[in-house]
Amino acid sequence: MVLPAYIGALDGKRQRQTALITGASSGIGLDLAQFMAPDFDLIITARNQTVLEKIAQELHAAHGNHVHVIPADLTLPEAPQQIFAEIERRGLPVDILINNAGFGSYGAFAESDSKTSLDMVEVNIAALTALTRLALPGMIQRKRGRIMNVASTAGFQPGPLMAVYYATKAYVIMFSEAIANELKGSGVTVTCFCPGATATNFAERAKMEESRLFKMGAMKSRDVALVGYKGMMAGKGLVIPGVINKTLAMSVRFSPRKLVTAISRSLQEKAN
């Protein structure tokens, strides 16, 4: 079932649905905001308030939609509740939730920074879970809604040298598929979006620009985001952009686990 971008209002005028997008200041999150702005009101969140406000002004000027800025640091456990408290204070619905915020870090786990690893779990898993739980009651009550959780092809196998990141994305895939099953017949769809290597600032932040994976080539962020957006609007459960990414993600199901892990490590290692 495809939901319309507009819902009926009491005065007979069309009222835009509202989408909450995390990690909306750059990369796939920003691309999604730009794709959705012509048809939806938006709530955009990330850490940098100045960047968010500039994006909001540009989108509103171009499309006439309402773009609400709620800055937040999702490494803080209280952030999801604070975001929704502010959303409720402003009297806004959340018709669509896009859990896009996330980050990775490169290197052997035993040598990693403990705070970085725990922050990664907080953003990639805990915040995503909390925001989903906060959004669902309203969607179920209205009998309509969409959730898109941004995972990664990394979630289909172990990832030596990025052990925590790969593990967090495996959680997102399993979690999304489970609640999608629970929500059948509710009017709420759950899409798990699994990009592969993508040209955003992710690789730079994770310090893996020189890895074989990214040296092999990365998809353009805007192309990736469009596939995800279309998949979410069509109510698809699992969306993997790119033929190569789909092939790699599916092939691990039929390969020996030790081999899969060894190949994964090879792709993560620095290219010569």
Give catalytic residues, as residue numbers.
165
Displacement of CA 121 from its chain's centroid (Å): 14
The answer to whether residues 75 and 125 touch, using CB atoms and an 8 Å cutoff, is no
Task: Report the chain's terminal Cα–Cα distance, integer Å.
Answer: 49
CA distances from 55 to 40, 66, 160, 183 (A): 15, 12, 36, 33
In whole angstroms, give the CA distance from residue 18 to residue 236. Answer: 20
Task: Give the count of beta carbons closer than 10 Å to the beta carbon of residue 177.
Answer: 14
The answer to whether residues 119 and 167 touch, using CB atoms and an 8 Å cutoff, is no
The answer to whether residues 169 and 186 touch, using CB atoms and an 8 Å cutoff, is no
Q: Are strands 6-8 and 14-16 parallel, antiparallel or unpaired?
A: antiparallel
Nearest to 35 by CA among 168, 223, 174, 241: 223
